[in-house]
């Protein structure tokens, strides 16, 4: 039980260190996240990546966003003036064709989502920071209770062992 307490303590300290590093290197974390998302776009139309494709489509549909930073992120990936249909606000088959054509975009300003999904994700985190903080505090309390109970159990077993030895 003492080892269990030590393991919980190490996990808690590692979480605190990661949290501090996250805030110290927040800009690097943001840039790495943006870059990783762009690398994920490359795999969108590849075989055996239906899960990734479904994830991108769901995010773009639910959050009404397109690409990582903007809809143009897709043009280098798709090799033509196409965005996924999930970028369309008014969805129909092949609505994403010619999406980056300037004339088409001007006529259909309300048809396509132009804000990037990374910005939408940042807005969501900012809007839900109190909820995320509350969840983090609950996890912290559960970890601290686990440590306290493991130490209490260790003490009880240790004391009971001394009584039997006498």
Distance, in Å, from the CA atom of 155 to the CA atom of 26, rounded to the nearest integer, reads: 42
Instruction: Give pLDDT tens digits for 38-67.
Output: 888 888 888 888 899 999 999 998 998 888
35: pLDDT confidence band, cut at 50, 70 and 90? Answer: very high
Global pTM exceeds 0.95? no
Residue-level pLDDT at 85: 82
The gap between the terminal CA atoms of the chain, to the nearest Å, is 23
96: pLDDT confidence band, cut at 50, 70 and 90? Answer: low
| pLDDT of residue 142 exceeding 80 | yes
pLDDT > 70 fraction of the chain, expressed in percent and rounded? 82
In 3D, which of 31, 15, 85, 101 has the Cα closest to residue 53? Answer: 85
Q: What angle do CA 152, 156, 159 make, to 5 degrees?
A: 135
| pLDDT of residue 84 exceeding 80 | yes
User: Which of the residue ranges 76-80, 111-115, 141-145 has the most confident prediction, judged by mean pLDDT?
Assistant: 141-145
- Name the region of 8 (left: φ>0; alpha: ψ -120 to 50; beta: rest): alpha
Residue-level pLDDT at 43: 87
Mean pLDDT of the 5-26 span: 91
Residue-level pLDDT at 164: 60
Which residue ranges form the domains of the chain, and what is each CATH number?
A: 2-160 (1.10.1450.10)
Residue-level pLDDT at 20: 92
| pLDDT of residue 143 exceeding 90 | yes
């Amino acid at each position: 039980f003492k080892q269990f307490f030590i393991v919980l303590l190490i996990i808690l300290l590692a979480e605190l260190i990661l949290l501090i590093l996250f805030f110290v290197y927040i800009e690097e974390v943001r840039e790495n996240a943006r870059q990783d998302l762009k690398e994920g776009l490359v795999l969108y139309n590849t075989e055996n990546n239906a899960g990734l494709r479904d994830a991108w489509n769901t995010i773009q549909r639910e959050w009404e966003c397109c690409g990582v930073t903007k809809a143009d992120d897709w043009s280098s990936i798709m090799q033509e003036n196409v965005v996924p249909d999930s970028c369309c606000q008014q969805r129909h088959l092949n609505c994403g064709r010619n999406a980056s054509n300037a004339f088409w975009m001007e006529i259909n300003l309300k048809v396509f989502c132009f804000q990037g999904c990374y910005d939408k994700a940042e807005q969501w985190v900012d809007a839900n920071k109190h909820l995320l903080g509350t969840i983090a505090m609950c996890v912290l309390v559960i970890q601290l209770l686990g440590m306290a109970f493991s130490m209490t159990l260790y003490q009880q077993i240790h004391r009971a062992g001394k009584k039997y030895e006498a």
